Each structure stands twice: as structure tokens, then as C-alpha cells.
Amino acid sequence: MKQFLPLVILFLAISIAKGQNPVSKAEVFSICINLPELQDYLLTDSGELPDELIVYNGGDQFSNIEMPSKFGKQVRLIEKNELKTSSINSYLSFYIFEVKDNKARVDYKCLQNGSIKLNVYLELEKTLNGWDIIKSKIEEK
């Protein structure tokens, strides 16, 4: 068993260096939910901050990520069956969430009352100072 420990440590070090760890994914996710252009779309119909930020979890792209806080509460992930049976009318839905080799690509939408209000596409690159957005396309619907 002791002979495998150095291999495990080496594998973890390589994964961290390539930006494929849960910490890097959490950092990219935080950039996405805190994007300045998104903030007005997260407000309720009456212009107030919502009680919580809800993100549709349509796959395993958020596995192993500790969800950050937004609006004073931890971001809430919901599954398809909960989305169908609840009265949730405002949430984010991520279609692409890839973090690989110090690069990330994200495509997500902000939905309100069943309609897409904002499309967001980001490409990010990890530098010594953290993650930088190198390309963005934001479309208001």
C-alpha cells in the first residue's frame, strides 16, 4: 500500500497543476455567478434580491464542487424532477461547464418565468493571478 502513495500524490499534483481540481471548478463557477452583467437578471420581479440563487443541475458537471454562497445562502442545485414539480421561476442553467488544462469554457442561461432572459458564453484562462475571462459573449433576450 505504501508503494502506491507516491503515485497518488503525483497524480493529485498533476491534476491541480492542470486546473482540473474541484477548487478550480469552484473558482470558475464563482466567476460565472458573480459576472457583473448577470446581476440585474437575478433580481426578483419587484427588483429585490432573491432569497437564494438556484442552479439547475442537469448532469454531473458540479460534482465535487463546494457550492459558494450568493445572497447570504449557499447556491442551491436542483434536479429536473424538482424543477418540474416546484414553483421555481428563476434559475441558471449550465449547458457547458468544462475546466481543463488551465482553460475553461462555460455556456449558461438565466431563465425567468420559463423564458431565457440572458445567454452567457465565457472562455477563461488560468494565470498566476487566478482565472481571467479571455472571451465573452453575452446576449440579452
Residue 5 is predicted with a pLDDT of 46
**Mean pLDDT score of the chain:** 86
* Percent above pLDDT 90 for the chain: 60
**Which is nearest to 88 in space by CA: 67, 113, 70?**
113
pLDDT at 2: 55
- DSSP, collapsed to helix, strand or coil, labels residue 17 as helix
Average pLDDT over residues 109-132: 95
Count of beta carbons in the 10 Å neighbourhood of residue 85? 8
- In terms of Cβ atoms closer than 10 Å to its own Cβ (0-12, 13-18, 19+), residue 1 is exposed
What ranges do the domains of the chain cover? 5-140
Is the CB of residue 107 less than 8 Å from the CB of residue 94? yes
**Least confidently predicted of 36-45, 102-111, 114-123:** 36-45
Return the closest-CA partner of residue 45 out of 112, 110, 108. Answer: 112
What pTM was estimated for this model as a whole? Answer: 0.81
